Amino acid sequence: MGTPHFLVIPYPILGHVNPLIHLSQILAKHGCNITFLNTEFSHERLNTTGAGLDNLKGSGIKFVTLPDGLCPEDDRSDQKKVALSIKTNMPSMLPNLIQHLNALDVNNKITCIVVTLSMAWALKVGHSLGIKRALLWPASATSLALCDCIPRLIHDGIIDSYGIPIKRREIQLSPNMPMMDTENFPWRGNDKLHFDHLVQEMQTMKLGEWWLCNSTYDLEPAAFSISPRLLPIGPLVASDSNKISYWEEDTTCLEWLDQQLPQSVVYVSFGSLAVMDPNQFKELALGLDLIDKPFIWVVRPSNDKVDVNAYPPDFHGNKGKIISWAPQKRILNHPSLACFISHCGWNSTVEGVCGGIPFLCWPFAKDQLVNKSYICDVWKVGIELDKDENGLISKEEIMKKVEQLLGDEVRKARSLNMKELTMNNIAEGGESSKNLDKFINWAM
């Protein structure tokens, strides 16, 4: 039996690119061959930052590109436009690329294609060429199980064909899973076009023999009982030096962290996509002044002409450090860190759990609401920030909840316990390590 050669294809957003980079690094360490396919635009962006592809020199990962079909001036923050253009243009180009790669080294042909969500079309291409296929799901296994149950939810009269709940209620997908509010389904807030795309995507994804999850049995035991395809191989934690980003990371915050007291710093970050309303932004700024603790606040470079992130005039911020992009894993594993104010995206959730850090949950949309219920109600390692009658999280609420969380010794202890449980999975003989071996042997 030869060595597997994986062709990995992420959808071009950081929340998909990074987990696949982590997986690629792990597979390369196991002696596998990796070819990583980016869109030309995404590849270009990753090459221009200090936290870009240079970080991966010597990792054994080869990079190739295909055009996404859009013009240089097109707005690539419009995800619907990007997904549609990719789906229209890339499928016809992929077979030629595979043929070319196979011709370069006839003894080392592509044996398996791994994709993320919205790239399931590549599984069809693999299927037609007789290549093995798998999916790496970038969110929680629970959200994957939920999306997989859409036909059942429609059939049982829980949602309509637009994905909208027939009536608001709480349901349980299986006996041991947490109760879920039908208003919080991951596809809520999207239109019919997006919902139909998801339903079609779930069907095509069935061409993937494995659905790999950046999760563990300990984190979501019941979700893994829903389908035998689901294989937890997480937590996918590469070192931060091997993480890549579309933005330059500000590492000066690490020296600043070294000067702070143990467990004193509040870290605030809402991932790579969430956009905050200007009034809410001001309230958050004033809340950080009120808590009277050192803080690191990630304020992403705004793509808009108008800077919505205008700080209120009475904001001092003198106790904190505001940066445009963070070396997040290193921050979350720093002894000075006290808590993480997070949007509860899955990658951030897993990184926070692996850092043993308690959460203040501020979900915006999609699967973040489901992740929040795990953090607060199932694992009990965080608390939720509540909105006031104007739909805002007030500065007083931020101060009150930070104080409450930092005084909660039970949650702190539970966070450290969750860290140990989760990290044990990737140790030798751990559940995720064994699953990864099983996957590699299958892919040969």
Same fold? 5-238+425-443, 248-407: yes
Q: Please give the CATH superfamily to which domain 5-238+425-443 belongs.
A: Glycogen Phosphorylase B; (3.40.50.2000)
pLDDT reported for residue 208: 96
- pLDDT value of position 45: 84
pLDDT at 245: 66
CA distance 131 to 97: 14
**18-22-28 Cα angle (round to 5):** 140
Instruction: Kindly state the tokens that stand for 109.
Output: 């042909």
First vs last C-alpha separation in the chain: 7
DSSP, collapsed to helix, strand or coil, labels residue 158 as coil
φ, ψ of residue 318 in degrees (nearest 5)? -75, -10
Taking 3-state DSSP, the helix, strand and coil percentages for the chain, each rounded to the nearest 5, stand at 40, 15, 45
pTM above threshold 0.95: no
Mean pLDDT score of the chain: 90
- The ranges assigned to domains in the chain are 5-238+425-443, 248-407
Tens of pLDDT along 48-98? Answer: 765 556 666 667 899 999 999 999 889 888 888 999 999 999 999 999 999
| pLDDT digit string, tens, across residues 292-316 | 899 999 998 765 444 656 889 889 8
Give 240's pLDDT tier (boundaries 50, 70, 90).
very low
Please tell me the CATH code under which domain 248-407 is placed.
3.40.50.2000
Token pair 């921050």: residue? 331
* pLDDT over 70 at 246, yes or no: no
In the DSSP assignment, the letter for residue 175 is T
pLDDT band at 275 (very low <50, low <70, confident <90, very high): confident
